[in-house]
Structure 1
Amino acid sequence: MTAVNAPPGGPRLRAEGIRKTFPGVRALQGVSISLAPGEVRALLGRNGAGKSTLVKILSGALRPDAGRIRLDGRDVQLPNPAAAQAHGIATVHQELSIVPELSVAENMLLGRWRSAGARGMFIRPAAMRAHAAQHLDSLGVAIDPAARAGTLSLADRQAVEIARALSHGTRVLILDEPTSSLAEAEARALHALIRRLAATGLCFLYISHRMDEIARVADSVTVLRDGREVATEPIAKAGTERVVELMTGDTADDAPAGPRRGKPAAGAPAVLSVRGLCVNDSVRDVSFELRAGEIIGVAGLLGSGSTELLRCLAGQVRRTGGSVTLDGRAFTPRGPRQAMRAGVGYAPADRAKEGLVLGMSVSGNLVAASLPSLRARGLLSRRQERLTACASRDRLSIKAPSLRTAVGTLSGGNQQKVILGRLLNAGSRVLLLDEPTRGVDVTAKRRMYRLFHELAAQGVSILVVSSELEELFAFCDRLLVLHGGRVVGHPPIEETTPASVMTLAMGGAPR
């Protein structure tokens, strides 16, 4: 590992041997990182590498199981975000915390309005606006402190967040995906602001999936993989290919491993045809065709638009441009129910909150979307419900003590099978699967891969999003690679590698 030289004064922030474990997951395994005054450090890694956990620990939102944090050479305790803020560590998250109904000045002093000066029980609006104007001016941004925050552009809201953080006396500023919703010109303006602030001694931890911007804004880069720090290097040495190899553990010549299956016939009809699909700024001009019995994997990092693509096709969000046809006919579902009636079923990434009724029985969850077909003389047929649930259990090999068992007591893999069973019972011929193996152990994952193969062999078409590139190579026919809401590649599995796909997903040139 190549060290980045710190100035003679030593690091401003140093985290040493940080460990954090969640049930079944070692999120951080002895990670160490240091930031020098005036340094902009990029923090990179695939989804699940440990970036978010490290940020939460440094910002006081989580406590580490082991390790220590030092500021200017002194050990500090960060039991909560307020403590981190008091020590000069501030975080601007991807989802901004601006309150739209309040003014810019009120947002900047949210929770500490009296610090701008008050007489008795009364807040002085003029003093608040003057306080806000002072910090906004220091950033060189022209924003009216009296303006309602909801009327500002995303770039200006982000500037307000940064000004608010700096008004606390911040010495370390953590920016989490700060350009994910910004246009190119706005992103460049933000980078220029960061460089100006770094020149004053402020240090940054900059989290991003966009390699094209890292070289513009960062001095150095730290790469995490599977909860470990694998390298910290000056930005001059950290080209796209080098970073991708560090993130994936692969080189350009590595061949993907995993079972393969026969592709659908070349003449198989296009079941789902998407042309120029747009969803606001999340999905931009996406086009592809999904054939009968085909499995397409959607590869993309956080903010790529992959989830939004699935939600749009499932009728959960309206498209703002383009067209979709299902079996050659226009497909514009007004909601998830209409999409499911047409044969398109959606399994969300968060199965506990959105995919299942945890307190309901396995049987109840399996038939929840197909109740009309189980009625006899207007009443629900318990016999038909039982037969349908038993058939799903046998078809998908669902392991449960009983069909009356609450689905919330099952393992993650079996819960996912219940969701698939419900979609199939509703007549879904196209499955939209968002992170279907999240939280599932290795053995259960392999069983699910075989299940996807079996469903495809029966003519079911599958569009699947996964943050684990290797598993897409294990069961998909081809890939759709997204970056910034756009398709940047659609390679057949046998003609690419995980490292090449990661390069595309990060905005790099194809190999």
Structure 2
Amino acid sequence: MSKEVLIRTQDLSKTFGTTKAVKQVSFEVYKGEIHGLIGENGSGKSTITNMITGIHTVTSGEMFLEGQKYEPKNQLDANRHGVSIIVQEMNTIEDLTVAENIFFGNEELFIRNGVIDSKAMNKKAREYLDVFGFDKINPADDVVHYTFEERKMIELVKATYFNPKLLVVDETTTALSHDGREKLYELIRHVKNRGGSVIVISHDLQEVLELCDSITVLRDGEHIKSFPVTDEITEDDLKKHMVGRELSGKYYREDTHSNIEGEVVMSLKDVNVEGILSNINLELHKGEILGIGGLTESGMHELGKVMFGALENQTGTVSLPQKNVEIGSIKTAIASGVAYASKNRDQEGLMINASILDNVCLSSMDKLQRKGFISPKRERRFTNEYATKMNVKMENINQFVSALSGGNKQKVVLAKWLGRDSDILVLDSPTRGIDVMVKASIYELMQELTKQGKSIVMISEEILELIGMCDRLVVLKDGEITGELLREEGLSEEKIIHYMI
């Protein structure tokens, strides 16, 4: 029996200014299938799905949903057609409750005598949250009270409570813990089992092979190939299609020596944050890549903020012994040569609705000024230098960061701190949502920086990444350090997981 097409694109194109992000892409997604959409950062994956879900308008070409011409006016219109999306970055609205976020745009469901019945809305939200087992989330709470992962779970409910025909999952798994990913996988399979379809965008190629029924590969905004997933297809096959050539796959360090002989450049003593971190004592050495690992709620992400002076209500000290400085604020951290790249890049790492130039120059204004004046020419030269070093794919340095792919946004974050010439870089999930080639370039950059005497703290939920890159690995569980491992001791997943759980 032939499969029935749910959605089809025909010569779909999208242009931003002079940039052709998507070029005449045609592909099909069948009913009841999980369809992987893969490609390097900037290949057009998110742009295509943003057109399908009504976030972007179509420049040219057509879309057909169940055989009928499909032209969503916006995301709410797409929802009404049975098409929804879960995006990579945080997409909840602060100052609204959990229930108000879930039913945003569909408040008319709860209007009684011209007034929104909040009690009825909260009750219905409670029902949907319970279906997914999110019993600890209160529909009446403002979403600001919840963690990044909990807010992604709220988005998950928002995107699926109305049983969509097509669900788009755009790089969401990289933001989730193991438990969160399992919840999402369960949802994806549920949509498939009831006859719906799912488009999954992911840079985790093993995940794509295990989860998807078919795959479409994009490169530079063009359709390269679509094919069913079989046991014979490997990750290397996918990489070759993505980049157009064979890849060695040797991204990590090949040495087995821990570089921790250098002087101590950062010291944490008796650091506590109520309910989050307990009795943290830790040192970072010059030229070291220090890994911080653990489960999402272990406190490791908050520890990175503590190192940057960005977390309040802490006790204990974070100091830079060689500079005789105690880090008590972000301003002091930056002035003392400490940089920080947040896991939550769009909200905490970038000014999304500003240009690449504004973002790259932001933390280096004091370096750029001469006699109280900053030359626009110097700003342009500075931005071009560091954006070029990071190989940012852009129209020009005046392009808004919001128009960049996730990987290129991360390159802008790193360019900002490279320009600052910071001595210590605290990198929280630096390769989240990044394709295989950009990962390799970031790993290479990290090694180059340590050779220059820089020190790096790498916070990651990816165990293989920590094993591959770190001189020393500290593992957190429930806000406490439970283990410390050296590179020459033979880092292994088994050892690390033992300390994590």
TM over 0.5: yes
Counterparts in 2 of 1:239-318, with a 5 A limit?
239-253=234-248, 291=287
Q: For residues 315 and 241 of structure 2, what CA distance do their matches in structure 1 show? A: 38
Is there any run of 5+ residues in structure 2 with no aligned partner, and where? 252-258, 342-348, 397-414, 451-455, 472-492, 494-501
Please report the TM-score for the alignment, with normalisation by the length of structure 2.
Answer: 0.61
1:76: which partner in 2? 70
| SS of structure 1 residue aligned to 2:26 | strand
What residue is the counterpart of 2:461 in the other structure? 484
| 1:171 and 2:165 aligned | yes
CA distance in 2, matches of 1:469, 1:166: 32
Q: Give me the whole-angstrom Cα distance separating, in 1, the residues matched to 2:16 and 2:327.
A: 39
- Separation of aligned partners in 1, 2:340 and 2:149: 33
Aligned partner (choices 5, 9, 13) of residue 11 of structure 1: 5
Q: Is the 8 A contact 1:63 1:79 kept in 2?
A: yes
Contact 2:37/2:199 (8 A) holds in 1: yes
2:489 corresponding residue in structure 1: none
Q: CA RMSD in A?
A: 5.4
Residues 1:319 and 1:185: Cα distance change in structure 2 (over 3 Å): farther
Is contact 1:27-1:226 (8 Å) kept? yes
SS in 2 for 1:356: helix
Partners of 1:475 and 1:50 in 2: CA distance:
27
Change over 3 Å in CA distance of 1:272–1:143 after alignment to 2: closer
Quote the residue 2:407 is aligned against: none
Checking the alignment, whether the CA contact within 8 Å between 1:93 and 1:178 is kept in structure 2 is yes
User: Does residue 415 of the first structure (1) align with residue 383 of the second (2)?
Assistant: yes
Residues 270-294 of structure 1: CA deviation (Å, up to 9, x unaligned): 685799x99989xxx9998654xx9
Task: Give per-residue Cα distances to partners, 1:279-326, cap 9 Å, x unaligned.
Answer: 989xxx9998654xx9x9x9xxxx9xxx99998766566899999886
Q: Give 1:69 shift.
A: 0.9
Measure, in 1, the Cα distance between the counterparts of 2:325 and 2:99: 46
Separation in structure 2 between the aligned mates of residue 227 and residue 440 of structure 1, nearest angstrom: 14
- Aligned equivalent of 1:86, options 72, 80, 83: 80
1:144-159 equivalent positions in 2, closer than 5 A: 146-148=139-141, 150=143, 157-159=151-153
Q: Which of these two proteins has the greater Rg computed from alpha carbons?
A: 1
Q: How many residues align?
A: 403
Question: Is the 8 Å Cα contact of residues 272 and 324 (structure 1) preserved in structure 2?
Answer: no
Q: Does 1:356 align with 2:361?
A: yes
Q: Is the 8 A contact 2:12 2:24 kept in 1?
A: yes
Query: Hey, what's the Cα distance between the residues in 2 that align with 1:232 and 1:213?
Result: 17
Given the alignment, which residue of 103, 114, 135 partners 1:121? 114
Q: Report the residue type matching 2:141 in the other structure.
A: R
TM-score by length of 1: 0.60
String of CA shifts for 1:60-99, please: whole Å, max 9, x gaps. Answer: 1212322211100111112322322222211122334445
How does 1:384-399 map onto structure 2 within 5 Å?
385=370
Quote the Cα distance in structure 1 between the aligned partners of 2:37 and 2:27: 10
Q: Is the 8 A contact 2:19 2:395 kept in 1?
A: no
Q: What is the CA–CA distance in structure 2 between the aligned matches of 1:124 and 1:340, rounded to whole Å?
A: 48
Q: Which amino acid aligns with 1:199?
A: N
Deviation at 1:225, TM superposition (A): 2.4
3-state SS of paired residue (1:489):
helix
Q: Does the Cα contact within 8 Å between 2:264 and 2:283 map onto a contact in 1? A: no
Corresponding letter in the other structure for 2:235: T
| Cα distance in structure 2, aligned partners of 1:329 and 1:61 | 48
